[in-house]
Chains A and B, each alone.
Chain A
Amino acid sequence: MHDVLVVGGGIAGLRAALAAGSGGVSVAIASRAHPTRSYSVTVQDGFNAALTDGDTWEAHAADTSAWGEGLCVPEVVESVCREARGLVMELDGLGVPFNRNGSEVTGLQLRGASATRTAFVDDMAGLATTHTLYEQCLRAGITFYEEWTVTSLVVVDGVCTGAVALEQATGNMDVLQAKAVVLATGGPRRLYEPSTASLHCTGDGMALAYRAGAPLMDMEFIEYHPAVLKNHRLAMPELCWAYGGELRTAAGSVLSVADGGAGEFLRAVQKAANEDGHVELSGPWAEGGTQDLLFNTQHRVKQLTGLDMTKDPVAVRPAMHRVLGGIAVDPSGATSIGGLYAAGECAGTGLHGAAGLPGNFLLAAVSSGKSAGHAAALYARSAAAPGPGREALDRDRGLVSGALQREGAKPLAEIRNELAGLMHHNVGMIRENAGLQQTARRIEQMRESYNSLGAGSTGSEYNFGLGQYLEMGCLLDVAGAIVASALAREESRGVHYRSDYPARDDVGWSKHLLATAGTSGTVIRDAAAAPSA
């Protein structure tokens, strides 16, 4: 039994655990993999903050809101931008070796920024931050349940008192009791192909909260990354542009975000990539000593393509990268369920709005992680002791033992592959009513098929077939929420583009949509109106 259980061992989860633990409460992290194996380590860019005298949190907030095209929640933007510098310095004190000018942490200017404000660690901010936070969690005595998969939340009388989890090594299931739970499980990238997905990006936390009745917000805003290595999942970091990189069509014309908003730029890149098979990223990286600064990117590009990116253009194409929304939370990170908090990519805080400013994502992870950790610890101090969660455990044990008897593998993979293709084509950069309706119907059919499938293998130790089955359930739930939200928003804004409603409509649509699990599918309703920001 712990005071606070964090589900997910990436940057947001680790930061939440540290924040919760600093209050003298007992904290545990349950993660599907060892924390430094999380998706977080692949994020390369950096952390936005007003680092210099010439920059202010107000300017950062203004850039964020402008990029987010009227849908960023102003209080959240202000709060995050105000504390950004402090968060970066905290990370530095914890051991992240930010690049400096002399002894001052220095920043780069990424696209959409009005100043050089992205604190960076060569081109491996995510890797450095994840390892640093993990090591600090070790120092803080946080308990780790590694390679445990959470299968459901224990919610009794509207209050979350822990989670049911499966220990992958043995197949045993147990209740991880806690007075408060923080979900920090990341984004559902495996829902789309192509995407920048790690295997574990299956939206587990989003699905678990959704099933427990918590609404998901802003799920229609799916952001693609413009330059992902062709045939692979490596996203070329924004740093490439900061160091003079350019994206060009195969014929040589430059593709620039200055030609329109984030959404327009992405659609232009996708159009070019569809026509020629790819677009090309190149830059003056051989000069100016960027060898160390882009080492990690260069190394991986070399291994995967044989190319030296400082000399040859690299073939890239857009791929799905982020869901800008997630589990609806208040500014402290609290969901609609008592004792349940969410942080990081799985949380919909309203920071990103309709398009996420480059350099704000890692910041969002530590900002929301810290808030949710503190809030969860505070709550846990006066919360009642959690019950044993017997009912939830028995239910999940039953589901799992049923799944172990049913076939899996190929038919399950076929569903996922088809779903990922459908999402990319119909719920990707360009949407319209017919395609969305067709996708929604197909998802329901897939769920029928899914219910008759299972793990495909019966073993109890490290049964990946069971894992794949559980993941698929989460992906289907999240897909339903995304499609319903995209169908409901009849306008275009930021990265959500409806070819049947191509204009932005501030009169009708200056609001956020909440997707909730209903008895016969996803129910969409309006959240509180968001004043234009």
Chain B
Amino acid sequence: MELTLNVRRRGGGALEPGLQAYQIEVTPETSVFDALVKAREEQDGSLAFRGNCSVGFCGDCTLMVNGKQVVSCLVTVGKVQKDNEIRIEPIKYATVTKDVMHDVNQFLWDKANSLSAGIVSNSTAAATEEELRPVRTAMRCTMCGLCDDGCTVIDVNTEFKGPAALTRIFRYVFDPRDTRHVERAVEVGEINGIWDCVHCWEASEHCPVGIDPTHRIMELRDRSVRLGVKSGRGNRSAARHYDAFERSVEKSGWLDERALAIQSSGGLIRGGLKMLPTGLKALRRGKATLMPHPKRPGAAQIAKLFERYRQVTGTRH
């Protein structure tokens, strides 16, 4: 079938941004990436896009095809063409280098590689199949960047490390063979790290291989709190918030918002002083009370749930 590829071209010195049409002969099974390669090899060697393996393992061919970010070698022409036409554009949040090729260092590698890479194991470090399974699942990651390109935080803050970079750290922190869990948790607890995710779940929606990065980030948060990591601007208040929330539900069966606000803001003294103006206003309007926080009915059962949870996970408060 004859296919028209409408490719967004820009940069590279000469061109005004705009769509350029390439007519090529393909079959419905031809992948979008292979179609682009054909256009480049047979017609126009200046057409710039990345990609190598054509079987979805190298993660390099991520593009916007008919308005949707995809791994372009795993999408067949037959599936996406409309009136024998396909529109190819660069991914959303990255700076364009040339045509549909983006600045992948700025978008992905610089961020991922700004966090310490490579496990540091000692010769006696052992791991079981159970322990490594989640690490292995996270290693399905080809660094295709689809999660980062769906991320609603990166949309407004390009410094946010992003789910791809944080998923790599998940692999290390949850790998029993690595001896630097605490240091890594400190690193990702900084500004633009795990605590800046707003859990919109776009990353997990976008990941084509079921890594569920949003969940991985939340597990990283949980683990850093359990590791006792309280340093880093991001971590300090988040960890207190986390702790206070948990402590309050464990003790009273439900949330003590007053304690939560005070603890999150810096503990009894500093937090108390900080929250004083808000607290007084709330008291005046009847939104807060000086009465002790009551236990809810069923608090004993909830406390038992926590006990069981701590038994099973081996955590302490």
Question: Given the complex, which residues of B lie within 8 Å of A463, measured CB to CB?
Answer: 45-46
* List of 10 A-B pairs having minimum Cβ-Cβ separation, nearest first: A465-B45, A139-B118, A303-B74, A457-B46, A135-B117, A95-B119, A135-B118, A138-B117, A231-B29, A100-B129
Cα A124 to Cα B57 in complex, Å, equals 9
Contacts of A99 in B (CB 8 A): 129, 132, 136
Q: Is A516 positioned at the interface, with any CB of B under 8 Å from its CB?
A: no
CA distance A416 to B41 in the complex (A): 10
Q: Is A121 on the interface with B (CB-CB < 8 A)? A: yes
Q: Which residues of B contact A233 (CB under 8 A)?
A: 53-55
Interface hit among B120-128, B237-245, B277-285: B120-128
Q: Tell whether, in the assembled complex, residue A139 and residue B175 are in contact, meaning their CB atoms are under 8 Å apart.
A: no
Q: Would A459 and B129 be within 8 Å (CB), given that A42-B57, A127-B57 are in contact?
A: no
Asked whether B255 is an interface residue with its Cβ less than 8 Å from the other chain, the reply is: no
CB contact list, A275-316 vs B, under 8 A: 292, 295-296, 299-300, 303-304
Residues in B neighbouring A124, C-beta threshold 8 A = 57, 139-140
Is B40 in the interface zone, CB < 8 Å from A? Answer: yes
Complex Cα distance A408/B126, Å?
A: 55
Q: Specify the chain B residue showing the minimal Cβ separation from A93.
A: B121
Q: Is the CB of A462 within 8 A of B118?
A: no
Mask of A21-63 contacts with B, CB within 8 angstroms, 1/0: 0000000000001101111011000000000000000000000
Closest to B49 in A: A464
Query: Mask for A147-171, Cβ within 8 A of B = 1, else 0?
Result: 0000000000000000000000100
Q: Whose C-beta in chain B lies nearest to the C-beta of A139?
A: B118
Is B121 a contact partner of A459 (Cβ separation < 8 A)?
Answer: no
Any B CB within 8 A of the CB of A173: no
Chain A residues positioned under 8 Å from B209 (CB to CB)? 295-296, 299
Q: Please tell me if the beta carbons of B45 and A97 are within 8 angstroms of each other in the complex.
A: no
A519 within 8 Å of B (CB atoms):
no
CB distance from B177 to the nearest CB of A (A): 7
A-B contact pairs, 7 of them (CB 8 A): A37-B58, A100-B128, A124-B57, A138-B113, A198-B52, A199-B53, A412-B41
Contact yes or no, A93 B125, CB < 8 A: yes
Is B142 located at the chain interface by the 8 A CB criterion? yes
Q: A124-B140, A139-B116 are in contact. Are A409 and B31 (CB under 8 A)?
A: no
A37-B98 in contact given A303-B74, A304-B74, A465-B45 (Cβ < 8 Å):
no
Digitize B46-63: 1 where CB-to-A-CB distance is under 8 Å, 0 elsewhere.
111011111111111000
B16 at the interface (CB under 8 A from A): no
| Chain A: CB-nearest residue to B120 | A139
B80 within 8 A of A: no
Q: By the criterion CB–CB under 8 Å, are A33 and B60 in contact? A: yes
Considering the complex, which residues of chain B in the window 135-158 have a beta carbon less than 8 Å from any beta carbon of chain A? 135-137, 139-143
Q: How many angstroms between the C-alpha atoms of A124 and B137 in the bound complex?
A: 10
Q: Footprint of A on B, CB under 8 Å? A: 11-14, 27, 29-31, 37, 40-48, 50-60, 74-76, 97-98, 101, 104, 109, 113, 116-121, 123, 125-129, 132-133, 135-137, 139-143, 168, 171-172, 175, 177-178, 208-210
If A39-B53, A135-B117, A135-B118 touch, whether A465 touches B46 (CB-CB below 8 Å) is: yes
CB neighbours (8 Å) of B55 from chain A are 42, 196, 232-234, 300
List of B residues within 8 angstroms of A132 by Cβ? 118
* Complex Cα gap A95–B123 (Å): 12
Please determine whether A299 and B127 come into contact, CB atoms closer than 8 angstroms.
no
Question: A residues within 8 A CB of B97?
Answer: 169, 461-462
Most buried by A among B45, B117, B120: B45
Contacting residues of chain A (75-116) with chain B, CB-CB under 8 angstroms: 92-95, 97-103
In the assembled complex, which residues on chain B have CB atoms less than 8 Å from the CB atom of A42? 53, 55, 57-58
Name 13 extra pairs, CB < 8 A, besides A42-B53, A124-B140, A232-B29.
A95-B118, A99-B136, A103-B129, A126-B57, A128-B139, A231-B27, A232-B31, A233-B55, A303-B74, A409-B43, A459-B14, A459-B46, A464-B48
Chain A residues contacting B53 (CB-CB under 8 Å) are 37, 39, 41-42, 198-199, 233
Query: How many A-B pairs fall under 8 Å by CB?
Result: 197
Across the interface, do B143 and A36 meet the contact criterion of CB distance under 8 Å?
A: yes
Please encode chain A, from 328 to 342, with 1 for each CB lying within 8 Å of some chain B CB and 0 for all others: 000000000000000
Residue of B nearest to A296 (CB): B140
A469: B residues at CB distance < 8 A: 45
Q: Which of A232, A234, A409 contacts B44 (CB 8 A)?
A: A409
Kindly report which residue of chain A lies nearest to residue B51, judged by CB atoms.
Answer: A199
Q: Are A410 and B42 in contact (CB under 8 A)?
A: yes
A11 and B126 CA atoms in complex are apart in Å by: 24
> Is there contact, CB below 8 Å, between A97 and B40?
no
Given contact pairs A42-B57, A95-B121, A33 touches B126 in the complex (Cβ within 8 A) = no
Q: How many residues of A contact B (CB 8 A)?
A: 70
**B12 engages A122 (CB within 8 Å):** no
In the bound complex, residues from chain B placing their C-beta under 8 Å from that of A38 are 52, 58
A131 on interface, CB distance cutoff 8 Å: yes
Complex: chain B residue closest to A133, CB-CB: B118
| B58→A408 contact, CB < 8 A | no
Report the separation of the CA atoms of residues A231 and B37 in the bound assembly, to the nearest whole angstrom: 15
Beyond A93-B177, A97-B136, A199-B52, whether A413 also contacts B129 by CB under 8 A is no
Shortest Cβ distance from residue B168 to the other chain A in the assembled complex, whole angstroms: 8
Q: In whole angstroms, what is the CA distance A98 to B136 when docked?
A: 8
Interface residues of A in 394-419 (CB under 8 A from B): 408-410, 412-413, 416
CA distance A169 to B269 in the complex (A): 56
Q: Are A139 and B59 in contact (CB under 8 A)?
A: no
Q: Which of A407-442 contact B (CB under 8 A)?
A: 408-410, 412-413, 416
A387 to B124, CA, bound (A): 45
**Is A466 in the interface zone, CB < 8 Å from B?**
yes
Do the beta carbons of B74 and A300 come within 8 Å of each other? yes
Interface centre among A99, A101, A169, A232 (most CB of B within 10 A): A232
| A33: contacting residue among B46, B52, B172, CB under 8 A | B52
Tell me how far the C-beta of B164 lies from the nearest C-beta in chain A, rounded to whole angstroms: 12
B58 closest partner in A (C-beta)? A37
Cβ-defined contact, A413 with B47, below 8 A:
no
Min CB gap B300→A, angstroms: 39
Assembly CA distance A295 to B141 (angstroms): 13
* A360 interfacial by beta-carbon distance below 8 Å: no
In the docked arrangement, what's the CA distance between A144 and B84, Å?
Answer: 41
Cross-chain contact of B59 among A37, A100, A464 (Cβ < 8 A): A37
Most interface-central of B31, B43, B116, B136 (chain A CB within 10 A)? B136
Known: A198-B53, A408-B45. A138 touches B118 (CB 8 A): yes
CB neighbours (8 Å) of B47 from chain A are: 464
- B12–A462 CB distance below 8 A: yes
Give the distance in Å from the alpha carbon of A36 to the alpha carbon of B144 in the complex. 11
B142 to A127, Cβ gap below 8 A? yes
- Using an 8 Å CB-CB cutoff, how does the interface string of A195-229 with B read, 1 for contact, 0 for none? 01111100000000000000000000000000000
Question: With A94-B119, A97-B135, A124-B139 given, is the CB distance from A303 to B56 under 8 Å?
Answer: yes
State how many angstroms separate the Cβ of B230 from the closest Cβ of chain A. 26
Residue A136 lies at the interface, judged by CB distance under 8 Å to chain B: yes
Q: Given A296-B209, A413-B42, A304–B175 Cβ distance below 8 Å?
A: no
* Interface presence of A177 (CB below 8 A): no
Determine the distance from Cα of A42 to Cα of B37 in the docked complex, in whole angstroms: 19
Residues of B near A128 (CB, < 8 A) are 136, 139
**Chain A residues within 8 Å of B31, by CB:** 232, 304
Cβ B42 vs Cβ A41 within 8 A:
no
Q: Which A220-257 residues sit within 8 Å CB-CB of chain B?
A: 231-234
CA distance A433 to B253 in the complex (A): 85
> Given A33-B50, A138-B118, A121–B136 Cβ distance below 8 Å?
yes
Q: Which of A34, A93, A465 contacts B109 (CB 8 A)?
A: A34
